[in-house]
Every structure is written in C-alpha cells, then in structure tokens.
Amino acid sequence: MKKLLLVAILMLPLVASASIIPCTGTITWATISTPGWQCEAGNLIYSNFQVVSGTVDPDVIATFSNPSAALGWSSTIDFRDPDAFKHNFQISFNVLIDPAAGFMPVPPAGLSWAIIESSTGLQDNNGGPLASFTAVLTQGATGSNTTTYNPPPPGNGSTTSTNPVLTQTVGFKVTDTFSDGDQQSKVFDVSNEFTQAEVPEPSTMLLLGGAFIGLGVIGRKRRKSI
C-alpha cells in the first residue's frame, strides 16, 4: 500500500488542484471542462477535461459509473448528446486511482489495484453514416483503441472496440477523438471503459518510474521562475 501511495503522489501533476466531489448524476460538458474541476467515481479520479480541437456542445452531458464486482470491476465515462453529435472533436482528460478512497476491497499483501484495460464504445440511434471514436493513452500508459460504426439501414445499435489497450498502471491521460464522415452523424453516446484488477505492486512502480523525471522537471521550472 505504501508503494501505491507513492505512485499516486508521483501522478499528482495529472490531477487538478481543486477539491474532489463525487461523480454523481449527469454533468454538463460546460461544468466538467471548468479549469480545476474534478470528481471521483468509486476509486477513480477524473480531472483536467479539455477540448483539444473541434467543437463540443456545452450541453453535452457526462455520466460516470462506479467499478463493481458484478461488472468485472469495470467502470465507464459516457459522453451523451441527446440531439446527436454533429461535430468532429478531440477532447482529453486524466484518470487516476485514488488509493485512499476505500471503495474497493483491500487487496492481499503485495497486491494493489491497477487499471488493466481501456476500451471505447459508441451508440447510434438513427442509421447515421460512418463514425469512429478513438482513445489514445499517454502519461502513464501507451496505446490506442478505436470503435467504428458503419451501419446498414436502419443502423440502430452499438459497437465496442475490438482492440482494448492492456495496461497495468494507476493512471494516465486519455485523448478521445470523435469523427463522422459528413457532419450528419446520429451518434448520441460515446464512452471510455476502464477495467481494474489486483496486480503485484512492483509492476506499477516500474511502469510509472518516468513520473520521477516529470516531477523533477516541474520542480526545476518552478525554481527558475522564482
């Protein structure tokens, strides 16, 4: 547990400094993209929501689910637009395990909770054109996964990525890209799913060792600015 706490400290640059509130109900994009805003769903802290490119309607809503044993300790963050997403866009956010949350069962000695898999999902409600949703993981994990929907009429349904990113770490940055072929998409829901498992503690330390370097660089920059 001490090792996991140290990892969480090293990941602090990924998390905004504002106080953490529960991720409950539906929250608009205008709210979650406020600088410094963050929330916690179960033992996962979500923070630093930003538009990287394109346009996101301010009334797009986000919903968060808690990990649970019934779902294999998976949890999701869904972005929904009741009128269907009509723009290509790219957004980013950070996700980090909170070792002090007390939400998950205490793992046996030598083990700790880690995010072991990340995947994407997409839902269509009116036979829209070709659309895709891609998640790229950086700053703690490396990889990308894409779900693509090219429906025959009437085209209603959902799809999930077939190439989930396998990780073994406590946190990372997610960059999501939604793309539709002709700006007339009928996609109303895109999602990221994260699955956790108990893993040996040294593995998380090895994968996140680079955080020492990042923390040192930040410290040097701060000293120079004084």
Domain that holds residue 205: 2-225
Task: Return the pLDDT at 4.
Answer: 45
Whether the predicted pLDDT of 12 surpasses 90: no
Check: CB of residue 154 under 8 Å from CB of residue 127. Answer: yes
Nearest CA to 98 out of 214, 14, 207 is that of 14
Provide mean pLDDT across the span 96-112.
93
Whether the predicted pLDDT of 11 surpasses 70: no
Work out the pLDDT band at 162, boundaries 50, 70, 90: confident
Most confident of 35-44, 125-134, 216-225: 35-44
Work out the pLDDT band at 26, boundaries 50, 70, 90: very high
Task: Return the pLDDT at 84.
Answer: 84
Work out the pLDDT band at 112, boundaries 50, 70, 90: very high
Chain mean pLDDT for the chain: 81
Work out the pLDDT band at 82, boundaries 50, 70, 90: confident
* Cβ neighbours, 10 Å, residue 216: 10
Cis peptide, bond prior to residue 153, ω within 30 of zero: no
Phi, psi of 199 (to 5 degrees): -130, 160
> In total, how many domains does the chain have?
1
**At residue 5, what is the residue type?**
L
Task: Return the pLDDT at 105.
Answer: 94
DSSP string computed for 73-121? TEEEEEEE-TT---S-EEEEEEEEE-TTS--SPPPPTTEEEEEEEEEEE
Task: Return the pLDDT at 208.
Answer: 46
Considering only residues 175 and 88, tell me which one the structure prediction assigns the higher pLDDT.
175
Considering only residues 212 and 67, tell me which one the structure prediction assigns the higher pLDDT.
67
